[in-house]
Structure 1
């Protein structure tokens, strides 16, 4: 049993809390994509839900707990997807939700946060500046601060993806997980290393936002001064030590990919699966593109984790 902050019994229990519309998402082989990549590829689709990402698996747990505790408000920092998910879960449970995001966040993500009735504050700077401001708001108002990946509920909610993968067939031998703060990678990794230890769990991060991957390889927190990636959903500069410890226990590798490969991955997903995805969701495909020999002949699952993307930017990226 891997030693992490996560617990398999709590992960199973999470399935009874998360709204069923976010569970049992499609998992299917894509032969056309596999032929392009030289391996068997299955897609785990986490975008076919009201918030178009996996994040509500975690926010459903958090907001349910807050209601049990008699709390009425919560604040988070978000690149967009977490804020949208928290807004959805909070609205469903009658909670006041505040979200802090960067002014540079994709407009489509910000618009959907507003549409769900959350209070949205925009800051100059990146996600780390937003995190600092969200912490200030929590202290000033005396409300719960939701910290993605640090709060174990966000990891255990994402870990329900791992339960679904472990219970699926046919067998696969590697799973490619987008790596940002680490909630999805640590959650999926914990489940698979507990019940299917032979599956290789590989984290994938943009080379323009490499902090967590560098930390994984050096086995200590490594921070960066700047970010340079279109994959805003996984862009962070300050890895969380507790999350890094979890990742080191349950993942087999962490790799970096180029922006050109992310864009090509988005293009291939559109062409061969009909999916319009945000850059973070194409990281798994990008990893295969950059190391075809490693994956040749293998059966890999790539988790398509988000579909919130500005269409104007998307067209600029994928148009030949």
Structure 2
């Protein structure tokens, strides 16, 4: 495999510093989903932990390094899940955590960040504006800036999911990964291509937030002026060049799905797996729904990456 910024030995080492509560998450074949999807489906459930998303795998690595060697204060921009995870990891290690987010972010995510004792600053714009503000705070205060997907710890923490997949799932031939900033996709993709290269790595993004997928297809950074999707966790406009370079090495395909398919995927996961998930977590199911012929007869693993939703909005989406 071509080189990426990631290192498999460091990924294995990351497991030793991540709180075990975030490791070895449930992984099982969900036969109830299969009649609707026309293929074998296994679920990697990254919501069964205290922050209800995969993000803490990366923030645990970041916080461990800072607690041992770095500044005691840290700031990040977040759509909600990274901020919640960094707040959890930082609180456990005595770090002063500031999270910058859009005031239009999911209210449940913002409330949880506050509950975890982080300082929350809101901006009147989208995630890219929050990122700009976090950069300014880090420079002004001289503290550590955590940039999701750019900071290798966030990718290598997420990559521990890949170790668990290749160690435990028999005979799967496809892994479906939500694509936003790229930490999850490049992390899991790196491990899968290094240890199970025959497995197809498919990244999935909403049509309303297509920047990284468009960039992958043309092999250069493509930005967008705006996003329009309910999948707020993957709604970036400005791909990071170094992350795109890694994605070009590890991803076999990147596809876009419609909002109606995302909602249908959320509804299927509720009805047939008993799972309440945020839109980003249903992207893999949405991709199978939109192209069933491609997946017929295959065994796909989908990573259910987050379940932080406002329940009133969720019920409007799924019609419950």
Structure 2 residue aligned with 1:279:
279
In 1, Cα distance between the equivalents of 2:21 and 2:70? Answer: 25
> Which TM-score applies when normalising by structure 2?
0.99
In 2, Cα distance between the equivalents of 1:60 and 1:212? Answer: 26
Structure 2 residue aligned with 1:191:
191
Structure 2 residue aligned with 1:127:
127
In 1, Cα distance between the equivalents of 2:111 and 2:66? Answer: 25
In 2, Cα distance between the equivalents of 1:201 and 1:105? Answer: 29
Greater Cα shift, 194-203 or 1-10:
1-10
Whether the aligned pair in 2 keeps the contact of 1:2 and 1:190 (CA below 8 Å) is no
Structure 2 residue aligned with 1:177:
177
In 1, Cα distance between the equivalents of 2:34 and 2:4? Answer: 33
User: Runs of 4 or more off by more than 3 Å in structure 1?
Assistant: none
Q: Is 2:299 aligned against 1:305?
A: no
What residue ranges of structure 1 are gaps of 5+ in the alignment?
none
Structure 2 residue aligned with 1:218:
218
What residue ranges of structure 2 are gaps of 5+ in the alignment?
none
Q: Which deviations, in whole Å up to 9, do the C-alpha atoms of 1:151-180 show, x marking residues without a partner?
A: 000000000000000101321000000000
After TM superposition, list the pairs within 5 Å mapping 1:128-207 onto structure 2.
128-207=128-207
In 2, Cα distance between the equivalents of 1:191 and 1:158? Answer: 10
Whether the aligned pair in 2 keeps the contact of 1:2 and 1:194 (CA below 8 Å) is no
Shift of 1:312: 0.6
In 2, Cα distance between the equivalents of 1:170 and 1:202? Answer: 18
> Which TM-score applies when normalising by structure 1?
0.99
In 2, Cα distance between the equivalents of 1:267 and 1:73? Answer: 40
Shift of 1:70: 4.1
In 1, Cα distance between the equivalents of 2:217 and 2:122? Answer: 34
Shift of 1:2: 3.2
Coordinate RMSD, CA, aligned:
0.6
In 2, Cα distance between the equivalents of 1:157 and 1:34? Answer: 30
